[in-house]
Chain A
């Protein structure tokens, strides 16, 4: 039974880590828009934040040239 003295604190620690991760994702706005991202997979093109940033970067490069 003594193993409980170890496993319970460990599980609480794990819980706390996930709790902090969750709070972080809330703070970063992951749950602000629940409509757009859920439709993203339906798009034929690649889609997402990174793609968007890449596109802007590409467009800026083209302007410089």
Chain B
């Protein structure tokens, strides 16, 4: 029987009880033949048969109090599979290296302890060589591959010296093995590879957690849509199967799945994710409505104009995906350090070899090998990733996901912070001020009665602002909501209405309460400001950072927000399109590394353009993908904490590098003067790495 795999993210699973609950309910649903709930990555994999209905399934799980979301199928599943495959391959390599290295050590210790003097010495060495082969050809593959990939791009990676040491050491050891000498170093190289692979695997697991799909918020409307005019009266179809010219009916709050044309006379639509404007727009018949907009009117009929894949939203997504593929310009401190160290050591080794070859070829080889082993950038290969992963883990504990280690290094250089307004500094809700002049109790009741039952954000804000009253709401005659204009009603024969005053309809920031045609009172509308915004901005300012606000909203609204946050008007740019945002951020980045904090689809390109992009929990998926840091907790203050962490991490790595440089100079000169031979070098090397690891852990304790 045909089955297929569906992948979901489930938010809110905390313990085994939650997993158990979901499993027992999900198992009873038609069409489910297999279930795999993963608490770590907060995902659910279901193997399903034909009769499976996704809506039923998600409803049932939601009924248990979890938030479940279907992942845009193929892509997410592919990503997930790729990561899993990679993780398994790494673990297999590590396991093989560990098993072989352990057994090689047994044989080598026997030889050191005296077996070399017996007839078994040579036999043990050959056995070590045999056990070394899987490490050389299987476990260490990554080092050759990475250094080759970097070389092809004209770069030197930290893996290159490892690959060189490995091949030189192996060849020399093999030469001695065939001659029957004692000087074989398979044990040290085996341990070396095992340590390196362990460190990398741990870091990979950490990053995998960071990149797991739960962090992705699905913007693609994956829900099913009601299509008119098919054989049955109405039929539900998933978003990606909608065809042009089909008529779909959307419920209130649904997201438009594909670019479409309005068929009703009028409808309220919000495109906050495109423009950042929080007020809904009135669309008229035959207006174009883009995918990604949210409808605020019940039962809106739309004629699909394009398939979902061709819609404007998808265009934006695709453009940004192309940008993602470009190699990044950033080089980390470790990479630069490794670059100089590698070039230096290789040049030194070649020069020495050329100069000393005529004196004593064998001794020259021996000393150069000691040099290569002792100067191997272990500190960089182990301690730096450790510092990064400890920092990433600490950040995770604070509810902050950091995309890649480069970000941590760049944070230090940041001078400028640019904030998007809507949804970042403000909550995206509208806040109504007190009515001026104050309303009489009767008028307040009438306002309440007028606004009650409306879903318009302004109405909700006004209702929130009015104090609760115990009396039953008044009865109004012919209460009517005129979409895009206001609300009217009669009370005891007298006409009352609420409508926008002053500015144009779209940009209204004031509403008035009218009795007949007489204006009784006015109420101002403001964006509700995030409670942590003020404090965060104040601290950033006191640290000497430049702060800018970019907003797709009107200039007046943006300036008002800036004022209440204690910023100057010159630091605000209103009416910013996605393009102006990108240009502005690009210009700032040219001068100084710049952080951009945003959330909407309209911010995605700017997030990508900025040196560091920060997005929040309520962000659109594309913004998440474009950003380097993701605030899971949604609290702005975590920006301050991550700043501190980044500086701490950078300093630790910096000290490590200085230590490594001093150590390398000392021991390289000892190696070249013949004071230490390869065997001693192999013992000193792990000691130096160990001290760096301990220092890193001491500097960045997890608790």
Which residues of A are at the interface with B, using a C-beta cutoff of 8 A?
A: 1, 4, 8, 11-12, 15, 18-19, 22-23, 26-27, 29, 31-36, 39-40, 42-43, 45, 47, 52-53, 55-56, 59, 63
Contact = CB atoms under 8 A, between A and B. Distances in A.
Which 10 interchain pairs have the tightest Cβ spacing?
Answer: A35-B40, A39-B16, A36-B39, A59-B28, A56-B27, A43-B16, A55-B27, A35-B39, A33-B38, A26-B92
A15 B99 contact: yes
Given A19-B95, A35-B40, A59-B28, A43 B88 contact: no
B87 interface: yes
Contact of B38 (A31, A35, A42, A63): A35
Contacts of A34: 40
Interface of B: 15-17, 19-20, 23-24, 27-28, 30, 32-35, 37-41, 84, 87-88, 91-92, 95-96, 99, 103, 118, 120, 127, 131
Contacts of B92: 22-23, 26-27
Contacts of B38: 32-33, 35-36
B23 A55 contact: yes
Contacts of B118: 1
A11 B99 CA distance: 12
A26 B16 contact: no
B103 A15 contact: yes
A40 to B, nearest CB: 6
A53 B35 CA distance: 8
Contacts of B24: 55
A31 B120 CA distance: 39
Contact of A19 (B37, B40, B99): B99
Nearest to B107: A8
A42 B16 contact: yes
B532 to A, nearest CB: 31
Contacts of B40: 33-36
A29 B36 CA distance: 12
Contacts, number: 77
A44 B271 CA distance: 48
Contacts of A31: 87-88, 91
B270 to A, nearest CB: 38
Contacts of A63: 30
A36 B16 contact: yes
Contacts of B91: 26, 31
Nearest to A5: B123
Contact of B37 (A1, A36, A56): A36
Nearest to B92: A26
A3 to B, nearest CB: 12
A59 B57 CA distance: 15
Given A12-B131, A27-B88, 16 more contacts: A1-B118, A18-B99, A19-B99, A22-B92, A22-B95, A23-B95, A23-B96, A26-B92, A31-B87, A32-B84, A33-B38, A39-B15, A47-B20, A52-B35, A53-B34, A55-B27
Contacts of A40: 16
A8 B128 CA distance: 12
A24 to B, nearest CB: 10
A26 B33 CA distance: 24
Contact of B17 (A4, A11, A32, A43): A43
Nearest to A9: B127
Contacts of A56: 27, 32-35
Nearest to B115: A4
A33 B30 contact: no
Contacts of B28: 59
A32 B208 CA distance: 11
Contacts of A26: 88, 91-92, 95
B512 to A, nearest CB: 57
A43 to B, nearest CB: 5
A19 B96 contact: yes
A32 B80 CA distance: 11
25 contacts: A1-B120, A12-B127, A15-B99, A19-B96, A22-B92, A22-B99, A23-B96, A26-B91, A27-B88, A29-B84, A32-B38, A32-B88, A33-B38, A35-B40, A36-B16, A36-B40, A39-B15, A42-B16, A43-B17, A43-B20, A52-B35, A55-B24, A55-B27, A56-B27, A56-B35
Contacts of A11: 103
Contacts of A29: 84, 88
A18 B575 CA distance: 66
Nearest to B87: A32
Contacts of A19: 95-96, 99
A21 to B, nearest CB: 10
Contacts of B30: 63
Nearest to B88: A26
A57 to B, nearest CB: 9
A12 B84 contact: no
Question: Which of B16, B32, B41, B96 has the most A CB atoms < 10 Å from its CB?
Answer: B16
B138 to A, nearest CB: 10
Contacts of A4: 120
Contacts of A43: 16-17, 20
A26 B23 CA distance: 24
B1 to A, nearest CB: 12
A53 to B, nearest CB: 8
A35 B37 CA distance: 11
Nearest to B42: A35
A34 B206 CA distance: 12
Nearest to A46: B20
A53 B95 CA distance: 31
Question: Which of A12, A15, A34, A56 has the most B CB atoms < 10 Å from its CB?
Answer: A56
A56 B23 CA distance: 9
Question: Which of B27, B37, B118, B127 has the most A CB atoms < 10 Å from its CB?
Answer: B27
Contact of B20 (A18, A32, A45): A45
Contacts of A35: 38-40
Contact of B27 (A1, A42, A47, A52): A52
Contacts of A22: 92, 95, 99
A12 B16 contact: no
Nearest to A45: B20
A28 B167 CA distance: 33
A19 B139 CA distance: 13
A59 B27 contact: yes
Question: Which of B15, B33, B39 has the most A CB atoms < 10 Å from its CB?
Answer: B39
